[in-house]
Copies of this chain bind each other. A is one copy, B any other.
Amino acid sequence: MEVPPKPVVRRFAAWGFENESLRPSAQLLEWLRTVVGSGEPVPRVAPGSMAVINPADLPPLPAPTSTAAMDRLQHSRGQGLPDILRLRFGSSVHPPDAVCRPGTAAEVESVLRACDRHGVRVIPWGGGTSVTGGVNVPPGLGPTISLDLERLSGLEGLDERSHLATLGAGTMGPAVEAALAPHGFTLGHFPQSWELSTVGGWIVTRSSGQESLGYGRIEDLMAGVRVVAPAGRLDLLPLPGSAAGPELRAMVTGSEGRLGVVTSATLRVRPLPERKVVQAAFVRSWEDGLETVRELVQSGVPLTMIRLSDPAETRVALAIGLASSRWSPVVQRYLRARRIGDDACLLLYGTDGPRETIGSILSCARSVCRRHHGVIVGSGPGRHWLADRFRHPYMRDGLLDEGYATDTFETAAVWSGVEELRGAVSAAVAGALDPWGEATALLCHVSHPYRDGTSLYFTFFYRTTGDCDENVARWAAVKRSAMEAIVGAGGTISHHHGVGAWHAPWLEAEIGALGRALIADAARRMDPRGILNPQVLLDPTDRLEA
């Protein structure tokens, strides 16, 4: 049977590809109407009707360069909620003056040299999926190009003996796995943006995939990296371990384009697992759930993923079909019979490998769940989750059509601080729109647990109005409240989305003035005139409403 090729045309002002969408279910809309009221659908202004200012004059660039209005528009913003709001309303559109597409590291080098000489700002572009303003073109900075790395794509080398693959920075998730699979390998890095995001983007934002419990974060996967900067190249060859001074690879991960452009990386790959299984259980309460997750991780059960939804997210998951809508009423009856009530939390846990190993790992996991009064419901919800896991971001666009805005943010803390952190964030988000007399809805889950703590991932909702600035101001109010709560409760300002422009005001609260200065020094060393991504990471001005 022929499998039709995946559509590759990206949607404008929306997540993902043309011909794909995910409509919110009636139950979800009903829940939102009850919690936050009815909103006004957000329009979709056709990009053709947007007034796009003419590009500034640029020096000749030694790589293919486009000034087509649509190309520029498509590179004007990332995928944050305010980006989508601005683009749908057609308001505050600041496209780059050109989109430049170098095909080699040497071309990247030449382009950076030309831009450095002529004072042209450069915003590196991988998959354009930043949700932190990390690829946005700030107005008023003078000539600016978007440096699209899509041509630096593909498998450049595979060292089968060392389980190392060298990949172009612009290689997207599916292309990574498609290149590795014929050789029997997988990278195992599956962030939710996997279908659109790139190797280089993962590295510079310190991405963490959904199976990070088994495969590690991108910084664990990266053995070597090549960075091209105005000041020269930084070639950090693959090494399994070293004590040769401070680990500069860790300065590249999370550098968000400020230290240079990642052109390729050598990543640790693993044999393709024979099988991948995700099972589900319900626990009676969030507290029981956290204890289950903590024990699973601290006792070293070799799972590759764990996800624990709080009671609200669990109810929504049951409503929108995450836990398989067809048998959701059956599940709910069964759970009630097992004394799993309204505070029930959905727990997913998965692993991969040979069939026989998987069996014994899952059996260990089930014992831990049962010790915490968990009720195992099998692999159905897990299969559903695996099948749908990259589709969830599509729902935002469907919700905007219905008058609801939604966004996500994430943090992490040590286990002893998780409850305080979740409480502080919940309270902050709940009251964030009080000045408008508006309500918010908030869901939370654990998706990246560690022996010493866990990430917390939050999804919030509010209703939209017909005014773009007003919608962005509400979003900004929620973000600010959440960030203050996170910093106050000792959480990290980001677990895997990165800093970008929008978290930058709080970076100093986390790493101190001296810490921020260390990163700024590195940026200055690699990019003395500051042409690279100038308002990201280090620039602490609050741009949440930009």
**Which A residues form the contact surface with B (CB < 8 A)?**
159, 161-164, 205-208, 212, 217, 219, 223, 229, 231-256, 259, 268, 270-271, 294, 298, 300, 302, 353, 412-417, 448-455, 490, 492-499, 503, 507, 510-515, 517-519, 521-522, 524-526, 537
Contact = CB atoms under 8 A, between A and B. Distances in A.
A161 to B, nearest CB: 4
Given A161-B415, A239-B414, A256 B245 contact: yes
A518 B251 contact: yes
A243 B453 contact: no
Given A162-B453, A242-B495, A521 B525 contact: yes
A170 to B, nearest CB: 20
Nearest to A498: B243
A240 B454 contact: yes
Contact of A452 (B164, B208, B249): B164
A246 B519 contact: yes
B236 A243 contact: no
Given A232-B514, A234-B512, A241-B453, 14 more contacts: A162-B415, A163-B415, A208-B243, A232-B512, A232-B513, A236-B511, A239-B414, A240-B450, A243-B254, A243-B499, A248-B515, A250-B251, A300-B353, A302-B302
Contacts of A250: 246-247, 249-251
A244 B248 CA distance: 16
Nearest to A239: B492
A238 B223 CA distance: 24
Given A234-B515, A511-B248, A241 B525 contact: no
12 contacts: A208-B243, A219-B247, A232-B512, A239-B453, A240-B451, A244-B494, A245-B498, A246-B519, A247-B253, A268-B452, A518-B526, A521-B524
Contacts of A251: 246-247, 250-251, 518
B412 A240 contact: yes
A97 to B, nearest CB: 28
The listed residue with most B CB atoms (<10 A of its CB), out of A243, A510, A524, is A243
Contacts of A206: 242-243, 247
Contacts of A413: 239-240
B414 A241 contact: no
Nearest to A270: B451
Contact of A241 (B412, B499, B507, B510): B412
A514 B526 contact: yes
A512 B521 CA distance: 17
The listed residue with most B CB atoms (<10 A of its CB), out of A162, A244, A512, is A244
B448 A492 contact: no
A239 B412 contact: yes
A516 B465 CA distance: 53
